[in-house]
């Protein structure tokens, strides 16, 4: 495995994870009430709790993407 290969892998991994994050965010924003209703019924949660769970999910996904994808890609680019 070369540094160039790893840089490419982490670059694509970052791009794909950011795309998933953006798609998830857009779907939650666009269909917020419908999705919150479905998940609220599925897990017997109030809509406010479901919306807080969405926020935690998006925040955690963003942090994990930064730590495990973006930072290694930047480190490899700078090396």
Q: How confident is the model over 34-52, as pLDDT tens digits?
A: 999 999 999 999 999 999 9
Q: What pLDDT, on the 0 to 100 scale, is given for residue 75?
A: 97
- Quickly state the pLDDT bin for 4 (edges 50, 70, 90): very high
Helices (H), 31-78: 32-43, 47-65, 71-78
Length of the chain: 79
Residue 24's nearest CA partner among 58, 49, 70 is: 58
User: In a 10 Å sphere around its CB, with 0-12 CB exposed, 13-18 middle and 19+ buried, how is residue 34 labelled?
Assistant: exposed
């Amino acid at each position: 495995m070369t540094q160039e290969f790893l840089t490419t892998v982490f670059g694509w991994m970052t791009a794909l994870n950011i795309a998933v994050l953006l798609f998830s965010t857009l779907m939650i924003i666009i269909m917020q009430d419908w999705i919150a209703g479905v998940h609220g019924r599925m897990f017997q949660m109030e809509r406010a709790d479901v919306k807080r769970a969405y926020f935690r999910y998006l925040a955690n996904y963003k942090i994990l993407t930064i730590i495990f994808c973006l930072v290694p890609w930047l480190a490899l680019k700078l090396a």
